[in-house]
Amino acid sequence: MALRAALRNKSTLSGLLSQWSSCSSNGRVCVSPVLFAQRRNNSTSQKIKVDFDQSTGVAVMRFQSPPVNSLSLDFLTELCISVEKLEMDKSCRGVIITSTQPKVFSAGLDILEMYGKSPEHYREFWRAVQEMWLKLYGSNMVTIAAINGSSPAGGCLMSMTCDYRIMADNPRYTIGLNETLLGIVAPPWFKDTMSNTVGHRQTEMALELGLLYNPSEALKIGLVDQLVPEDQVLTTATQMMSKWLAIPDHARHLTKSMMRKPTIDKLTSNREADIQHFVNFISKDSIQKSLGMYMEMLKKRRG
Amino acid sequence: MALRAALRNKSTLSGLLSQWSSCSSNGRVCVSPVLFAQRRNNSTSQKIKVDFDQSTGVAVMRFQSPPVNSLSLDFLTELCISVEKLEMDKSCRGVIITSTQPKVFSAGLDILEMYGKSPEHYREFWRAVQEMWLKLYGSNMVTIAAINGSSPAGGCLMSMTCDYRIMADNPRYTIGLNETLLGIVAPPWFKDTMSNTVGHRQTEMALELGLLYNPSEALKIGLVDQLVPEDQVLTTATQMMSKWLAIPDHARHLTKSMMRKPTIDKLTSNREADIQHFVNFISKDSIQKSLGMYMEMLKKRRG
Amino acid sequence: MALRAALRNKSTLSGLLSQWSSCSSNGRVCVSPVLFAQRRNNSTSQKIKVDFDQSTGVAVMRFQSPPVNSLSLDFLTELCISVEKLEMDKSCRGVIITSTQPKVFSAGLDILEMYGKSPEHYREFWRAVQEMWLKLYGSNMVTIAAINGSSPAGGCLMSMTCDYRIMADNPRYTIGLNETLLGIVAPPWFKDTMSNTVGHRQTEMALELGLLYNPSEALKIGLVDQLVPEDQVLTTATQMMSKWLAIPDHARHLTKSMMRKPTIDKLTSNREADIQHFVNFISKDSIQKSLGMYMEMLKKRRG
């Protein structure tokens, strides 16, 4: 868990990680090979399995953190490191993200990281959430979400950072930013990402009501791009990846950066204030109480 | 009519009203109880009937200004006061706006207020139009438009300020910003509101052509959210309100503010210039002539 | 070809042309009658046939530059002059653009102008591309694209500058900004124009993949407004023009300007930097090589 510790410790590697973002050029991160080697040695990849096929240039990242691939600090740290490794490997041109857990792609941010912890912990956690979004939304690789289960909140956010979204056509699965249902609020960059995907009006209604869409509804409003039977999600993603990789990389990079840079710049220029805002908000008694009640409800459901 | 006089007299209550907007926090207006009490005593509510159900927290505002609920200075003044009263009543969480007039929700801005009057009058009128939009678009309450008749121009604007729009499925009713048909121009904040609702392209075409959509067309482009038979508009609005009120208020407030604040800020930071622009435009001989011809045409139609 | 020479020579007429843009008011260009007369005398109109019907106030511009109406420097220069002439003729209220070439509306920017030429040539060419867009997107006239053939890249851009797009319902025709397929990148103002037409998400996917849509697909995403049988494209355009001309010109001008000015201002305030960026990009060895390979491929296809 040295890598996680690194992200926690702002004065060392974590500080460097933030700097890497700012020294990226066209989204490709520049980093010293020495540091990278150190980090590779430290990687333990428990929560995410990465299979990179050199022959195709395509990696598949499988989320395998039971029971529901919650975005804990550990998970996010491992995700950021994994994406960064692939990003720096010039032979890797595309990434497919998917889940090994039944019925769920990712349940989103881990509530345990936001409940009853210290301000320092909230700060560290939120920085990791930001980092995950910055790495995925700003990736130069082609990113495809193979959404083979429910994908609420942070799971939906991860999906929306991708270039293309394929969802299992199972009416019991849902996707959406449902933060308001928990009494919390999707931050501006979640909102921007959704607005870039489905437009202002759908985003307004979805966020105010905390809407979770079934696959048909999600396809209708453009929240996902394609529905296929559950057992074809990954193969379809692989086929679609070939189509994307037929485009010259440099032209696609520049185009993707042109589309996304203004949204990314809004967060990078406001990152510390965004963290402070989150810490203040989540530390409120009323919000902690809301989250407590929500977790009680979840326990009863399971019990 | 003391309230209307108040809005007219910038040096007294009207000036205060503008200040209230700027001292609002998250859209909820702060106002001294003394002033409010004075205003409550003065309220006569002739053009708008407000029924507030304490048990549900929902108010219904019925426009009852014959023949077509034109947005005259009196109407707008009464509307602003009514919304502000409800906004300040913590027990009121939602408002449904609808019409008691047959076949019409609201015919929009009263042309008589824009024809043959003094610059001072135009100034006062436009400030009231701005105030109506600021109060409705920035409301913390859940606002639902129960559109049980035609809703052109300012009527469409009022509808678009709401969180949700239900329209009577009567093909003879229309809705849209048809200002160009009269030779006048929808101001930037009308445009922004429509663009936030139906997107840039539909707004461009709708505003250039002064398009009025029938209910099916309006649903198709997203100008309204739902169509129901005419006699079910209000009951559907009430049911939909329950769905919106299931969301924790504070999370919904913050989310709504995040979505709308940039658009609202554009007007509040430019309010006087916007008024001056309207006064200059509407005072032009050519525009007055256009409006005169339009009113002649309306007279002939009725005659 | 004096006019083309004029555009080439920045120190004389070309410099004036840029200034004209900046002295326009509400999009209508102000220009000295003397200069205009000189230019009219020089106009030879070989690549574009303009028929202006004084009785209707509508001009039809027919692209007749074999084989595929490529946007060469000559073509663009003639187009700019033609649009400017019509713009300055107060009796001309609307323009329909269409093609006389079979199966193609316009194949877009002429690759020959971007391959193996001097930086000065690239500079001059890009200035003409900008000028075409500024003139068409900022036109006060009603502009309708009668798209009677394929319309890739710059052909699609021209279409998108119009107020309304009618396309021949022939499944073999395509339309889209397919620059990435050639290894080049649509510049920000191409992107803005498309985003204003079909929204952020469709634009992102279309530009990254260099998508070419058939007419049905184009209609579905809103890239064109209407499909008709091929032999009815021009007559439909003429009928639609009547509808647009029923709107008072001054109100429509102001509305169109309100919708488009922010996008236009972005380029006019950044014009020289945009040119420099294009020259640097297109001069790169890798880009020149890409274009060379593309032209070889085209030759083989034809051969």
Q: What local confidence, expressed as pLDDT, does residue B45 receive?
A: 54
Handedness of CA C132, C138, C139, C143 (dihedral sign): positive
Q: Judge contact between C260 and C80, C-beta under 8 A.
A: no
Q: At what angle do helices A233-245 and C200-209 cross, to 10 degrees?
A: 60
Specify the range with the lowest mean pLDDT, choosing from B214-218, C25-29, C63-67, C236-240.
Answer: C25-29
CA separation for the pair A252, B211 (Å, rounded):
38
Half-sphere exposure of A133 (CA within 13 A, CB side): 31
Q: Which of A180, A201, A203 has the CB atom closest to B251's CB atom?
A: A180
In the residue annotation, B208 being an active-site residue is answered as no
Listed in sequence order, the residues at least 6 apart from C186 whose beta carbon sits closer than 8 Å to its beta carbon are A255, C177, C179, C180, C194, C207
Cβ distance of C208 and A247 shorter than 8 Å: yes
Which of C185, C204, C210 is nearest residue A254 as measured by Cβ atoms? C185
Q: Which of the residue ranges B221-235, C202-216, C280-294 would you say has the lowest mean pLDDT?
A: C280-294
Q: What is the mean pLDDT of residues C30-51?
A: 52
Helices (H), A138-248: 154-161, 188-198, 200-209, 215-221, 233-245
Average pLDDT on A61-83 reads 97
Beta carbons of A256 and C200 less than 8 Å apart = no
Q: What angle do CA B62, B68, B73 make, to 5 degrees?
A: 80
How many Cβ atoms from other residues are within 10 Å of residue A242's Cβ? 12
Mean pLDDT, each 10-residue run in order, chain B (303 residues)? 30 26 30 32 69 97 97 98 97 98 97 96 98 98 98 98 98 97 94 98 98 98 98 98 96 97 98 98 93 88 76
B179 classed as catalytic:
yes
Mean pLDDT check: name the lowest of A180-189, B38-47, B182-191, C36-45. Answer: C36-45
pLDDT at residue number B42: 36
Other Cβ atoms closer than 10 A to A33: 8
Does the beta-carbon distance from A286 to B225 stay under 8 Å? Answer: no
Query: What is the separation of C-alpha C155 from the centre of its chain, rounded to a whole number of angstroms?
Result: 7
Count of all residues that appear for chain C in the document:
303
Q: What is the ipTM of this complex?
A: 0.84
Contact B110, B76 (CB under 8 A): no
Q: Which residue of C has its CA nearest to A192?
A: C200
Taking a C-beta distance cutoff of 8 angstroms, is the pair C256, C79 a contact? no
Burial B37-47 (b: 16+ CB within 10 A, else e): eebeeebeeeb
Please, which residues have CB within 8 angstroms of residue C139's CB and are 6 or more apart in sequence? C27, C83, C87, C95, C161
Kindly state the average pLDDT of the residues A47-54: 97
What residues of C are in contact with residue B181 (Cβ under 8 Å)? 247
Q: What is the pTM of this model?
A: 0.86
Is residue A109 part of the annotated active site? The answer reads yes
pLDDT at C45: 54
Read off the pLDDT of each residue in C185-212 and give the average, rounded to a whole number: 98
